[in-house]
């Protein structure tokens, strides 16, 4: 597993706030099997792939993870089984009824216990289960980064309205690919491991890695 060097960032207010492996916690909010049926703003297989990619990135960087579900004994259903299996030892909060996860004391306690001040979050649905805790966390002084392609909702209108609402309060929007590279910062550490991570989680990136491996392993004479 990649163990990044600790880096001290400049504190100039004019610089954008960058994700730090030393200060980030990852929240998976209501990625439940019943709620997945509501995600119509991207193809279902692509959405699931993005959620699991976010999970594998969190594991690669050894980030603390907090997972929560809402009313999972009802129609919302259980947490996505692949995600739950990936983080067997993570804090897991099954909320009995609170719609905003930040209204649940155990969830907030689990987040605060990590000691991290940067929140990376995704969930279902974007304008409720993501936006509500994002706005609450921002109000408490957290830096919040929303992984847009690992969050889903009914349609583009619902998604865009949620993005605007979160952005105007200070949330940063990014994708799992941007999340990973902002955490990573430099290709030169563990390049092989990092390439293998993308090879595993991205069908789009796999041909690039295949090309790199072919050139790396080729006889120099074959390249003439």
| CB neighbourhood size of 85 (10 A) | 10
Catalytic residue of the set 26, 119, 129, 183: 129
- The structure tokens listed for 133 are 């805790």
In angstroms, what CA-CA distances link 47 with 52, 57, 127, 180, 218? 9, 15, 16, 17, 36
Residue 58, burial from CB neighbour count under 10 angstroms (0-12, 13-18, 19+) = buried
Cis peptide before 125 (omega within 30 of 0): yes
The answer to whether 39 is a known catalytic residue is: no
Helices 44-60 and 176-184 sit at what angle, rounded to 10 degrees? 10
DSSP state of 104: -
Please list the alpha-helical segments (H only) found in 40-155.
Answer: 44-60, 81-86, 105-113, 131-139
Residue 195 Cα to chain centre, angstroms = 19
**Residues involved in catalysis:** 129
């Amino acid at each position: 597993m990649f163990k990044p060097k600790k880096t001290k960032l400049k504190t100039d207010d004019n610089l954008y706030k960058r994700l730090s492996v030393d200060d980030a916690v990852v929240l998976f909010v209501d990625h439940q099997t019943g709620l997945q049926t509501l995600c119509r703003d991207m193809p279902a297989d692509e959405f699931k792939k993005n959620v699991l990619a976010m999970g594998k990135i969190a594991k690669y960087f050894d980030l603390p993870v907090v997972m929560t579900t809402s009313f999972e004994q009802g129609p919302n259903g259980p947490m996505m089984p692949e995600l739950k299996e990936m983080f067997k030892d993570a804090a897991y909060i099954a909320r009995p009824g609170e719609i905003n996860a930040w209204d649940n004391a155990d969830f907030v306690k689990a987040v605060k216990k990590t000691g991290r001040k940067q929140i990376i979050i995704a969930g279902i649905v974007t304008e409720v289960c993501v936006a509500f805790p994002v706005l609450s966390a921002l109000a408490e002084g957290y830096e919040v980064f929303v992984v847009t392609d690992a969050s889903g909702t009914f349609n583009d209108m619902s998604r865009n309205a949620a993005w605007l609402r979160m952005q105007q309060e200070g949330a940063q929007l990014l994708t799992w690919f941007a999340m990973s590279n902002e955490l990573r910062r430099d290709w030169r550490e563990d390049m092989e491991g990092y390439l293998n991570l993308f090879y595993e989680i991205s069908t789009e990136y796999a041909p690039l890695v295949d090309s790199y491996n072919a050139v790396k392993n080729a006889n120099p004479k074959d390249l003439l």
